[in-house]
Amino acid sequence: MTVLVIAEHDNVSLKSETAKVIAAAASLAGDIDVLVAGSACAAVAESVAKLQGVSRVLVADNPVYKAQLADNLAKLVVGQASGYSHIFAAATSTGKDLLPRVAALLDVAMISEVVKIEDADTFVHPIYAGNALEKVKSLDAVKVATVRASAFDAVPATANAAIVALDVVINSVCSELAHTTVASERPELGNARVIVSGGRALGSADNFAMLETLADKLGGAVGASRAAVDAGYISNDLQVGQTGKIVAPELYIAVGISGAIQHLAGMKDSKVIVAINKDPQAPIFQVADYGLEADLFEAVPKLVELI
């Protein structure tokens, strides 16, 4: 049994999700190869080589892979696929874009957002916004799956695997015109120990600054409900929920969030949930470990002061 993991990176640094996908792959007790496809991505390959459990790092380093486009990356992966029993990637926007394309070219089904691996053929993944868990047995020769990183603990960086260069250049028919990233000093949502999330009750983009102060004091990230994103208070990549980020931090503080099922789907696996809301009937209180019925504009500044 050999697993091929597709590394998640921005050509400069390796994303934290990859070490968690490798942990999922390691539960299968086979060899693990990791593919790094990018441009001028040698530093990424070196980071991958250090991760425990990695046998080989395959590096396709060429400008054609810079923008992580699915059409040529899928062909690259399929070209390397022979001999692998499993192909995994993180359930990030890149992994979700790429892996179904790989599976279709291999004529196999795919399993999305795996949260538990029972054995080499059997996987558990959420459906209906996490309101049900489906356990499926794959009948395909190659198992292709995206892994929900928050469900696995990262492997440590204690190894020194071989790095193998792949001389395969496949062009994409697409071109990247622009790529804007939202720069932030705060930890990424998927990686933060603490997340402070706000809902529509914040009332304005300016009021989100209050949550940023609290997040910074706790060394955490800022998130938001869909309602807050749709209202334009905060950028869309910070949305937590069924169609946004799925997170499981140590501490999740939901401020002014009512708790629609689509939001709960994104955060209910957090270890400790705090809800601050002035509506005692808000569904968020049903999943909160600690609920505080209060006006957020009074409670949040006080919380900042006391922590």
Partner 1 sequence: MKVMVPVKRVVDANVKIRVNAEHTAVDTANLKMALNPFCEIAVEEAVRLKEAGKADEVVVVSIGPKVAQEQLRTAMALGADRAILVETDEPMLPLSVAKILLAVQAREQAELILMGKQSIDGDNNQTGQMLAALADMPQATFASMVDITDGQLTVSREIDGGIQQLQLPLPAVVTADLRLNEPRYASLPNIMKAKRKPLDTLTVAELGVTLKPHQQILAVTPPAERKAGVMVASVEELVDKLKNEAKVI
CB of 15 to partner 1, least distance (A): 8
Closer CB to partner 1, residue 56 or residue 86?
86
Distances (CA, A) of 88 to 13, 33, 118, 171, 180: 19, 10, 15, 23, 27
CB of 71 to partner 1, least distance (A): 5
Among 82, 158, 175, 281, binds partner 1 (CB under 8 A): 175
Site string for partner 1, 177-206 (x = CB under 8 A): xxxxxx-----x-----x------------
Terminal-to-terminal C-alpha distance of the chain: 49
The one-letter amino acid code at 182 reads: V
CB of 243 to partner 1, least distance (A): 6
Among 132, 158, 167, 281, binds partner 1 (CB under 8 A): 132
Q: Which residues contact 306 (CB under 8 A, 6 or more apart)?
A: none
Give CA–CA dist 144/51, Å, rounded: 22
Our finding on whether 279 is near partner 1 (CB under 8 A) is no
- Report the half-sphere exposure of 217 (CA within 13 A, side-chain side): 15
CA 295 to chain centre: 32
Segment 255-274, which members bind partner 1 (CB under 8 A)? 261-262, 268, 271-274
Closer CB to partner 1, residue 31 or residue 97?
97
Q: Which residue has the tokens 């931090």?
A: 249
Give me the residues paired with residue 36 across strands. Answer: 59
Our finding on whether 150 is near partner 1 (CB under 8 A) is no
Interaxial angle between packed helices 296-306 and 208-218, expressed in degrees from 0 to 180 and rounded to the nearest 10: 20
CB of 159 to partner 1, least distance (A): 26
Closer CB to partner 1, residue 92 or residue 258?
92
From 51-59, 92-100, 149-157, 201-209, span contacting partner 1 (CB under 8 A) = 92-100
Longest dimension (CA), the chain: 61
Segment 221-240, which members bind partner 1 (CB under 8 A)? 226, 229-230, 236-237
